[in-house]
Amino acid sequence: VGMATSIPPHNPAELIDACLHLIKTPNARTETLLGLVKGPDFPTGGVLIEPAASMIEAYATGRGGFRLRARWTAEDLGRGRYQIVV
């Protein structure tokens, strides 16, 4: 059975740390929580290139998006040929 969600996946250990912080400090600021939860943990990898202010707004309001950039390397195939691996 396939499921779709609009909630990005996160690192469970980071979420637990944030939950424990919220138990100790119920009125914690979003910025403080984002210090514990670095951002979405996408299974396909990539580099999150979203500005910090946009991420804070997305987490505070529940609306927003995250831009990712693929990680890549160039492999030398010899004889002047290269291959880009994403």
Indicate the pLDDT class of residue 7, thresholds 50, 70 and 90: confident
pLDDT value, residue 53: 92
- For residue 83, which amino acid is it? Q
C-beta pairs of 45-50 under 8 Å, 24+ apart in sequence: 45/70, 45/71, 46/70, 46/71, 47/71
* Contact indicator for 38, 8 with CB cutoff of 8 Å: no
pLDDT value, residue 43: 82
User: Does residue 18 carry a pLDDT above 90?
Assistant: yes
56: tokens are 């804070």
- The domain spans of the chain are 12-85
Indicate the pLDDT class of residue 31, thresholds 50, 70 and 90: very high
Average pLDDT, the chain: 90
- % of the chain at pLDDT higher than 70: 99
Instruction: Give 3 or 70, the one with higher predicted confidence.
Output: 70
User: CA–CA separation, 56 vs 35, rounded Å?
Assistant: 10
Report pTM. Answer: 0.71
pLDDT value, residue 20: 97
